[in-house]
Structure 1
């Protein structure tokens, strides 16, 4: 089902790859005007720009690192100039790495929290003046936040923090008519997994697919479906929730 979001102005962080890319394209196809950001230029950004042009609409791509306050200021300035208001804010930008806890450097712990948790804090806080009554704030978390995953203590902690941030902001911003929710993906088949060799991919599937009731990985489009729902009026009385999109993990 494709929802009609014509006339909606949307800001999506981390929109050039994987889940973020799927969200940006789904929102644009649903009629929204989208501003999104990316950390590094390259073919992923160029191809997204081409796809958005083919879809139609007046969309913008901005180079910005959400862990850098000055970059966030620049991103919000573009949103203010180009959109005027932000009806839907999607916090998707983030990083991940796999490090045994005993060997986890403080720098990597801080990098992960700065991107995954503090980045969302910065974007939401700076965007507040642009959020009208009825706005929807959606953060992309992770099923790992409640399941826990070895070698990802830093990542899991950052995503668990987003659940608390979501719950608190839902209560604080609800009086302004602003909804705040979180989408928690399970194992999603993104371009990162696409870089694996056939042998590595087979091992990856054997390790994880049996964990899902649906016995397959999810797709960025399926995460985008949950985001579209939360961006639309169909979810007008839903706030403070975590929606797991994980195939029954």
Structure 2
């Protein structure tokens, strides 16, 4: 069975029919896989992107061919006004939310000695503050049985040269998640983190072929499974956390990294 067929089989059995989902940063990579998996599982999906382009156009086309009420919104979730407009779109279009996936992330490697305040702030805003703004804004739309899923990174546990700002933000996301799980648990709202390892996404395809091949081989060697992960493999964990099957799972950091 192909990976695509396997993904769609998982999606159909996920128990998300009619669920209302917001996924930030859904036009590429893991976010795109989550958007399409949720939609194929029967959910109604709103997603956002910062800039228009071919990836957004192709995602809109795929969602248009998928049953459900789906919408793509241009929004920078680091900005209060954009988050307010995004949440208003969810309220007006869907009437509420059952699942929030904070997938937006930002990273530009920099040696720590040369790391500027602007680079630090941009990374923290893109990986941590954005999740705070979206989650806090979405709270009035969530009710018992809802699920908040934050996308972290396995490097928060193992560290990364040239990524002190990124690993700090992703590690803080774990603490943010665990505190919210305790605070929102009495209302029946679950909050978890998915921490992917090296995932084979379009970012690899953007590199020159010989460099991409070397990086794939290098990163695959770090994994106990001897390969990179697929975006659909991360999306399947998001499907689980969004579903009733994960009804007693909260405050957890689930690594999808092939054991690095």
TM range (shorter): over 0.9
Q: Distance in 2 between matches of 1:159 and 1:66?
A: 16
1:168 aligns with 2:154: no
1:182, CA displacement in angstroms?
Answer: 0.4
For normalisation by structure 1, the TM-score amounts to: 0.98
1:15, CA displacement in angstroms?
Answer: 0.4
Q: Which runs of 4+ in 1 moved over 2 A?
A: none
1:74 aligns with 2:85: yes
1:156 aligns with 2:167: yes
Partner of 1:119: 130
Contact 2:15 / 2:244 at 8 angstroms: preserved in 1? Answer: no
1:230 aligns with 2:256: no
Q: Give the unaligned 5+ runs of structure 1.
A: none
Question: Aligned to 1:55, what secondary structure does the other structure show?
Answer: coil
Superposed CA offset, 1:61-119 (max 9, x none): 00000111110001000011011111000000111111111111100100010111000
1:25 aligns with 2:36: yes
Question: Aligned to 1:65, what secondary structure does the other structure show?
Answer: coil
Q: Distance in 1 between matches of 2:92 and 2:172?
A: 31
1:4, CA displacement in angstroms?
Answer: 2.8
For normalisation by structure 2, the TM-score amounts to: 0.94
1:206, CA displacement in angstroms?
Answer: 3.1
Superposed CA offset, 1:163-195 (max 9, x none): 000000000000000000000000000101111
Aligned pair partner of 2:70 in 32, 36, 59: 59
Q: Distance in 2 between matches of 1:83 and 1:93?
A: 21
CA RMSD, aligned part only? 0.8
Map of 1:97-246 to 2, 5 A cutoff?
Answer: 97-246=108-257
Q: Give the unaligned 5+ runs of structure 2.
A: 1-9
1:248, CA displacement in angstroms?
Answer: 1.4
Q: Distance in 2 between matches of 1:206 and 1:216?
A: 8
Count of residues paired in the alignment: 249
Q: Distance in 2 between matches of 1:54 and 1:84?
A: 23
Q: Distance in 1 between matches of 2:172 and 2:53?
A: 31
Superposed CA offset, 1:208-240 (max 9, x none): 111101111011100000000000010000000
